[in-house]
Structure 1
Amino acid sequence: MAPEELARAFAEWFGTGVSTEVTHGQLCADVTPYDWIEALTMAHDSLGCTFFDWLSGVDDLDLDPPGISVVAHLYSPEHRHHLLVRTRVPAADLRLPTATTVYKGANWHERETHEMFGVVFDGHPNLIPLLLPDGFEGTPLRKDFILASRVAKQWPGELAPGQSLTDLKPGRKRNLPPGVPAPGEWGPG
């Protein structure tokens, strides 16, 4: 199916509750968190997207209103089309129903997204830490997460990100790397 055909199918199914766009030859369908499972089920059962490729989060906390976008990439081996299904979970309530009821392969991906972005997947069979060491606190893929190693150790290069050699001046003040607070703004008080 062509992306435009997929977009029409989503529009017929969800009406005004979905927005679609075709980018790089594939459809991206934006649904509400309430329609998340229905959109995945429709893609699986009606559009033939039986291959679950991946699921992850995107930090949109600097947008208004803030939130985390959860994106799933699906594929139809029979019809040979790709589909991105995306929803935006508000920062005030980072909860979404689990996709494991539709795609068993979403299990590991939801565990990682929970651990790295803080999204809770209601109904997930085993939402336990996957990658980070025991006792780790924080959500390291969110923009508001402070990288402690950047505070403890000097930036390894002579140039800070975004600088060029023409910017170097003798005796210049060293810049802090991105995401690192000024001295005295981080750490034990």
Structure 2
Amino acid sequence: MEAEGVGRRLVELVVDEAVVAGVSGGQAYARATVDVPPARWRDALRAARDDAELACDFFDWLSAVDELDGGFDVVAHLWSTAHRHGLLVRTRVPREAAEVASVVDLYPGAAWHERETHEMFGIGFAGHEALRPLLLPPQFEGHPLRKEFVLASRVAKPWPGAKEPGESEAGGGRRAARPPGVPAPGEWGTTPTPAGAGGVGEGPRGGAPARPARRPPGERPARGDRTTPAARPGQSAPGDRPGRAAPQNQPTADGHQQRPEPSVGDEGGAV
């Protein structure tokens, strides 16, 4: 069955005016996409599983999308191992009452996905009896995948990867904009400037460090006292010119070694 037919079939089964069918992008990999109201969420997934034409017996994944003022989209992807087609089912829950019915009794494989979505987005799944922490420590506060959640790592440490929005490819140009998830200075987690640091005031936690004070024009940095190192044995002292090496014995034409004549003042005198 083609993607359009899969979507239309689920709309016929759910029988609700608010159910809308469409097709996702992806050309050859397009999927039937059906939007249902939260009250028909379980009915839609049950119909997709039990209907002989759809037969979506394999639960692939479930997650959510933060639409800010629009609420949250809860998304589930199902697959039919018999007919080799997929189905994407979505529902939108309001931000102030983010809850939808659990489908663990229909698809036991959804238990892990509902726990993760509850932990990361703060969406409740009524009927799920084990919505305990899955990836984060129990004392963690907040939901990291909500768009209003502050990315503390971006504030505490500059992003080491690709260039942030606002930076040119050449590395220069206009000043970089704040990356997504980082609040403006003074909105969250400010720390006072250390005593004696010039150039910055209070700013985001872990912001840019203060620049060192500039020297007045024409002033050279003072050099520390340096002690002249003692020369090692066999080496000349610093500043002395190395002397020439003493001439070695040179062989004569008859093959005998010629001894160099001693210079005046050498011990032993002339030979």
TM-score, normalised to structure 1's length?
A: 0.89
When the two structures are aligned, how many residues end up with a matched partner?
Answer: 184
Q: Tell me whether 1:52 sits opposite 2:59 in the alignment.
A: yes
1:77 maps to a residue whose letter is T
- Residue 10 of structure 1 is matched in structure 2 by 10
Give the alignment's Cα RMSD to 1 decimal: 1.9
Task: Say if 2:100 and 2:126, in contact at 8 Å, map to a contact too.
Answer: yes
CA deviation digits over 1:138-177, x for unaligned, max 9? 11011110011111123336842353235724xx645432
Task: Say if 1:155 and 1:176, in contact at 8 Å, map to a contact too.
Answer: no
- Residue 47 of structure 2 is matched in structure 1 by 42
The structure whose residues are more often helix, as a share, is 1
- Residue 180 of structure 1 is matched in structure 2 by 182
Task: Say if 2:7 and 2:87, in contact at 8 Å, map to a contact too.
Answer: no
Q: 1:21 deviation in Å? A: 0.7
Q: Take 1:139 and 1:11, find their aligned partners in 2: how far apart are those partners?
A: 33
TM-score, normalised to structure 2's length?
A: 0.63
Compared with structure 1, are the counterparts of its residues 33 and 118 closer, same or farther at alpha carbon in structure 2 (3 Å cutoff)?
same
The structure whose residues are more often strand, as a share, is 1
Q: Tell me the secondary structure at the aligned position of residue 147 of structure 2.
A: coil
Q: Tell me the secondary structure at the aligned position of residue 100 of structure 1.
A: coil
User: Which runs of 4 or more aligned residues in structure 1 lie more than 4 Å from their structure 2 counterparts after TM superposition?
Assistant: none
* Higher gyration radius (CA): 2
Q: Take 1:175 and 1:78, find their aligned partners in 2: how far apart are those partners?
A: 50
Q: Take 1:6 and 1:37, find their aligned partners in 2: how far apart are those partners?
A: 18
- Residue 20 of structure 1 is matched in structure 2 by 21
Tell me, which stretches of 5 or more residues in structure 1 are unaligned? none
Task: Say if 2:167 and 2:176, in contact at 8 Å, map to a contact too.
Answer: no
Task: Say if 2:20 and 2:35, in contact at 8 Å, map to a contact too.
Answer: yes
Q: Take 2:32 and 2:73, find their aligned partners in 1: how far apart are those partners?
A: 16
Larger RCO, structures 1/2 (Cα 8 Å, 6+ apart): 1
Tell me, which stretches of 5 or more residues in structure 2 are unaligned? 192-271
Q: Tell me whether 1:91 sits opposite 2:88 in the alignment.
A: no
